[in-house]
Amino acid sequence: MRILAIDPGDTESGYCLMEGYKPISFQKANNEELLDWIGLNAPDLDVCVIEMVASYGMAVGKNVFDTCVWVGRFWEKARNAGCYRVELIYRMEEKMQICHDSKAKDTNIRQALIDRFAEFDKKNGKGTKQKPDWFYGFSKDVWMAYAVGVTFIEKEKESVLNR
């Protein structure tokens, strides 16, 4: 299954193109550039998964609302460009799926992913240029985009098992 997972931001977003669990292409990109990329590649995707903003009763600023606009723009671009399955994943779902703890932070999610997927570099999961590991080249926003994709895959598996 070819998945585009996005961790949206107000001006830049992390994304990870995945073939199953395997990261194929990833980076932090300007939102306009990512929108163009989606337009060109949407027909080749099985699903586009975007992290959705949720309210927990705290005051938020302009950047949160701008991020919400981008979630909608990415969703619409993917659908209109030929990716007929677009899903939203909330951060709480990621925390519970990957760490089984609603209080998990980004560092906990990252470490859980390293523990699970890294083959030999159990400290940061990246390895070296000469000996790259599973997460070689990942940065902060890409980690969270990958977490969005992993959460989607595992929720899909659970859904199939519960049918």
Helix-helix angle 106-117:140-161, to 10 degrees:
70
Q: What is the pLDDT of residue 78?
A: 97
Average confidence score pLDDT of the chain: 94
Q: What is the pLDDT of residue 56?
A: 72
The three-class DSSP label of residue 129 is coil
The CA-CA-CA angle for residues 46, 95, 99, to 5°, reads 105
Measured CA to CA, the distance from residue 140 to residue 28 in angstroms comes to 9
105 vs 63, higher pLDDT: 105
Does pTM surpass 0.85?
Answer: yes
Instruction: Read off the pLDDT of residues 43-84 as tens digits, 9 standing for 90 and up.
Output: 999 999 999 988 777 777 888 888 999 999 999 999 999 998
Rg (CA), the chain: 15
Which tokens in the block code for residue 1? 């299954």
Q: Are 50 and 89 a contacting pair, CB within 8 Å?
A: yes
Which tokens in the block code for residue 17? 């193109």
- Residue matched to tokens 């989607």: 152
Question: Which domains does the chain carry?
Answer: 2-90+138-161 (3.30.420.40)
Tell me the mean pLDDT in the region 107-120.
Answer: 97
Residue 40 has pLDDT above 90, yes or no: yes
Q: Would you place residue 161 in the very low, low, confident or very high pLDDT band (cuts 50, 70, 90)?
A: confident
Q: What is the pLDDT of residue 64?
A: 85
